Structure 1
Amino acid sequence: MLTVFEAPKASEAKVKLKNGITAYLVADATAQPLVSLQVAIRGGAYLDPKGKEGLTSAWGAQLRQGGTRSLPAEKLDARLDFLAAQLNTYGGNEEAGLFLNLMEKDVKEGLALALEVLTQPAFAQDRLDLWKRNRLRALEQLNDDPAGIERYQVGLLTYGADHYAARWPTAAALQGLTREDLLAHHARMIHPENLSISVGGRFDKTRMVQLLNETFGALKAGSEAKKNGLPPAPTHTPKPGLYVVHKENPQGRVSFLLPGLKRNDPDWVTVEVMNFLLGGDFTSRLTYLIRTQEGLSYTVNSRFSEGAWHPGSFRAVFQTKARSVAYGCRLMLGELKRMQEEPVTEAELAKAKGALINGFPAGFASPEAVAELFLNEAYRGFSETYHATYRDKVKAVTAADIQRVARKYLPLGKLAILVVGDKDAVEAGDVKDKPGKLSEVAPLPVVELPLWDPMTCTPLKK
């Protein structure tokens, strides 16, 4: 008799440490003798002061790379190597964190090392200088790669130049970062109310709670520590248009951009099913038409980002020969329009729903994955009951529901279409086989965007 998979419950894994830190513990006595720890830190690049962009990124990297007060970087590296442990830290746009993976038998020492890295960083000057040199070198090369150009132009179009998600550190900001800046930022960030923890693997839960209380549970807020707020929502409203960035290249990169929704929105599951059919799977309509049938692109897909604190965004992408860009855009537009105008077939819908339902248990494949899932969803404020009702919501989606959300969340008149490639070639199109200019693809204003100077984060003059 087949057993119906029941999603684990976050409430059953959640514990509170003695200082109020929430931890999610998922143990499996039959798993390999490994333990994974994740510490999520509330904060990110959205906290970087103007002129100090890159501060959170530098701080997050140097927590690990710069050693601790009692263990210089080389000795910390050697000790972790001896334990066959992996310990990494990072600072992102909307969160920072620490990851540790090691053998079950070394958990006590590993937790002590992780706490030391988090609370007693040395921020070695030579390691900080190396990090800055590497970042500056990457900045210098940003406009060499069409993918890098596309990435920052998508951010600018979606969020606006003043939003943290579209900004990057200038050369002056990077060069101006000091060890004292990192120390001050660290004093602010390490507050128990900014921390949450997950532990997954093979361990005794009672003993793990004891060890966590002896380490992270004993952490107290310093005099400079602050409880960080949530990332601010963008105030920028994306403008519809066909945006072209000139970059001499035989290929063109294309992104269709639209505003999205929060994952807590009642429409989210229906939108997920709709996008699975549109471009969210290798069997989707966009992949079949643009890759399989027309042979224009190896990679083509679409997705709605999971909006947490503010609505996410929609993005559909493909890359093809410059002269095929206009034709590929017409095909993609046609599929977006068809999703709105024609109900999906019952066979398509059944296949999509079956794939999402049958693939659901894979998200809970290991205790580490489950613990990290609970932590990351709690960090973003998602409902703890989401997974308990997910499959029933997928089952309830109808063809009419798909058509409704397609009309609501794929408004063609609000599209921002970004093309990065040789402007003359992409505009001319495939004159011989698939005639049609790029500017004639949609009734949208055509705007030529400049490259930005990566060193100053300002538009380059034409």
Structure 2
Amino acid sequence: MATRATKKTPVKKTLAKKPPAKKGTEKKGTPAPVAVTLPALHESTTSSGLKVLAAERGVLPLVAMRLVIRAGSAMEPADKHGLADFTARLMRRGTAKMSADELDETIEFVGASFSVGSSEDVLSLFVTTPAEHFPEMLSVLGQLVREPSFPEREVELARERALAGFTNDLDDPSVVADRAFTRALWGTHPYGHDVGGSSAHVRSFTRDDLVRFHREQMGPRVSLLSVVGAVSPEVVAREAEKAFAGWAGGPEAPVALPPVDSLATGRVLLVDKPEQTQTQVRIGGPGFRVGHPDYFPAAAMNNVLGGGFTSRLVNEVRVERGLTYGIHSYFDMLNAGGVFGISTFTQTDKTREIIDVSLAEVAKVRAKGITPAELKKAQRYLAGLYPLRTETNESVASVISDIRVHGLGDDWVEKFRERLLAVKAKETVEVAAKYLFAQPPLIVLVGKASEVKKQLTGLGPVTVVPASDYE
């Protein structure tokens, strides 16, 4: 799965540990990749039906946990967008046994940390703790998901904060552009709204809504706990049984989302912010689901097109023409489908130019793919970054969860670089032809409509809406 690069890449250390290549397998200029493996996984299931994966790892006395629940924003009622994320965050604000302050004190006293993440497909609760306090912190995690109390006052405060946040978001044209792009592209599909929802929906949230969503969508049979660090699998299984015994509710199996038959492309959505001197630009079309066989050739191809610091889009749009400070292309992969997109911005009077130049670069790659030299460079870069995915207990716990939740196969990490380095140039031509706007894309623009609209002739039907639609 795609990851963002970090600035700290221990290249010298990695090369120093590289084992010698087997006789007859050396390729000039292409060092054999160092093996990247996961620690041994031990599986168990609690009496409540929660799947548990344990991996004993490292000499540091630390443990990382990730509890994934298949209850993301795509599972929300049609009139309650943002409810999944809102519910997950309120779980942290009290249980049947502990108030929010007591939870904070308990967690901070032992030097642990708790956090929550949400996406279209899943909710995740993350815990890091010193190993000696693992049983206690796992017990707290169990309380959070089994018996959250959702105090009325905490719900009110969270709603007020969220509504204030929506108002502030209108001042950020990049946020407005992303929100508008998601809604326009996915339409009525469950992926067609922001994970955080909208002010109109969040304003209607009640404590009963949270209780109902927790009861109906968040249960042990659609969840997975991964535990990585200085704790034995036997202890993990024993303590997980204690922590999650009696957890009930939720569906019997993950909810199947409707297939993505088509995305709303071939038109222009212009979001009017009259005070803007720049235009936010989003261009997109169909991509592919997470775990799709096209992932590896698409990852290499996109790194050359717009996913890297020296990509074609960066060179042509930023370096050669000075149209922007930043541009990138990406594949956003979800369980039921995905998107190929381009994100950038420019000054108002250059809006059409940046669109035309970007689409021209995409067309070149769609027609011919990338060169063998570009492919090799992308493969080396992506393969060199991949070991960072397994540097820490937290990252290993996340990788393990992703592999199982998205059905990537237990050899995903071990075979990742082998599969990446096996990509051939002709495969990049094939995926480029599939996903690089073979049909006219959706174009979403946020800026001064009176100046931008007159630049859009020939790009497709244009719809103008106020920015306030995206609060």
Q: TM-score range by the shorter chain?
A: 0.7 to 0.9
Q: 1:102 is matched with which residue?
A: 129
Structure 2 counterparts to residues 16-35 of structure 1, below 5 A: 16-19=44-47, 20-30=49-59, 32-35=60-63
Correspondent of 1:314 among 326, 335, 340: 340
* Partner Cα distance (2:394, 2:447) in 1: 42
Deviation at 1:115, TM superposition (A): 1.0
Normalising by structure 1, report the TM-score.
0.87
Q: How many residue pairs were aligned?
A: 439
Q: 2:325 is matched with which residue?
A: 298
Distance 1:74 1:46, change over 3 A: same
Partner amino acid, structure 2, of 1:306: M
Q: 1:121 is matched with which residue?
A: 148
Partner amino acid, structure 2, of 1:326: R
Q: Tell whether 2:76 aligns with 1:48.
A: yes
Q: 1:230 is matched with which residue?
A: 256
Percent of residue pairs identical? 24
* Partner Cα distance (2:370, 2:204) in 1: 55
* Partner Cα distance (1:173, 1:346) in 2: 50
* Partner Cα distance (2:280, 2:467) in 1: 17
* Partner Cα distance (1:337, 1:267) in 2: 19
Distance 1:174 1:438, change over 3 A: closer
- Would the aligned equivalents of 1:9 and 1:384 in 2 still touch at CA under 8 Å? no
Q: 2:165 is matched with which residue?
A: 138
Q: 2:18 is matched with which residue?
A: 2
- Would the aligned equivalents of 2:141 and 2:243 in 1 still touch at CA under 8 Å? no
Partner amino acid, structure 1, of 2:411: T
Structure 2 counterparts to residues 122-271 of structure 1, below 5 A: 122-161=149-188, 163-166=190-193, 169=197, 171=199, 173-216=201-244, 218-222=245-249, 227-234=253-260, 237-248=263-274, 249-271=276-298
Q: 2:104 is matched with which residue?
A: 77
Distance 1:413 1:454, change over 3 A: closer
Correspondent of 1:88 among 102, 107, 115: 115
Runs of 4+ in 1 over 4 A off after TM superposition: 167-172, 224-228, 452-455
- Would the aligned equivalents of 1:200 and 1:369 in 2 still touch at CA under 8 Å? no
Deviation at 1:445, TM superposition (A): 1.3
Distance 1:236 1:335, change over 3 A: closer
* Partner Cα distance (2:237, 2:182) in 1: 41
Q: 1:450 is matched with which residue?
A: 465
Deviation at 1:402, TM superposition (A): 1.8
Deviation at 1:80, TM superposition (A): 1.6
Deviation at 1:400, TM superposition (A): 2.4
Deviations 1:92-126 (A, max 9, x none): 43222321111111111111111112212121111
Distance 1:139 1:7, change over 3 A: same
- Would the aligned equivalents of 2:281 and 2:344 in 1 still touch at CA under 8 Å? yes
Normalising by structure 2, report the TM-score.
0.85
Correspondent of 1:389 among 396, 415, 421: 415
- Would the aligned equivalents of 1:194 and 1:227 in 2 still touch at CA under 8 Å? yes
* Structure 2 unaligned regions, length at least 5: 1-16, 20-32
* Partner Cα distance (1:326, 1:7) in 2: 45
* Structure 1 unaligned regions, length at least 5: 429-436, 458-462
Q: Tell whether 2:424 aligns with 1:398.
A: yes
Deviation at 1:204, TM superposition (A): 2.7
- Greater Cα offset, 241-250 or 44-53: 44-53
Distance 1:276 1:162, change over 3 A: closer
- Greater Cα offset, 360-369 or 105-114: 360-369
Distance 1:54 1:271, change over 3 A: closer
- Greater Cα offset, 251-260 or 396-405: 396-405
Deviation at 1:28, TM superposition (A): 2.1
Correspondent of 1:376 among 387, 391, 402: 402
Q: 1:354 is matched with which residue?
A: 380
- Greater Cα offset, 104-113 or 156-165: 156-165
Deviation at 1:164, TM superposition (A): 4.5
Distance 1:451 1:162, change over 3 A: farther
- Would the aligned equivalents of 2:50 and 2:220 in 1 still touch at CA under 8 Å? yes
Q: Tell whether 2:377 aligns with 1:336.
A: no
* Partner Cα distance (2:134, 2:321) in 1: 54
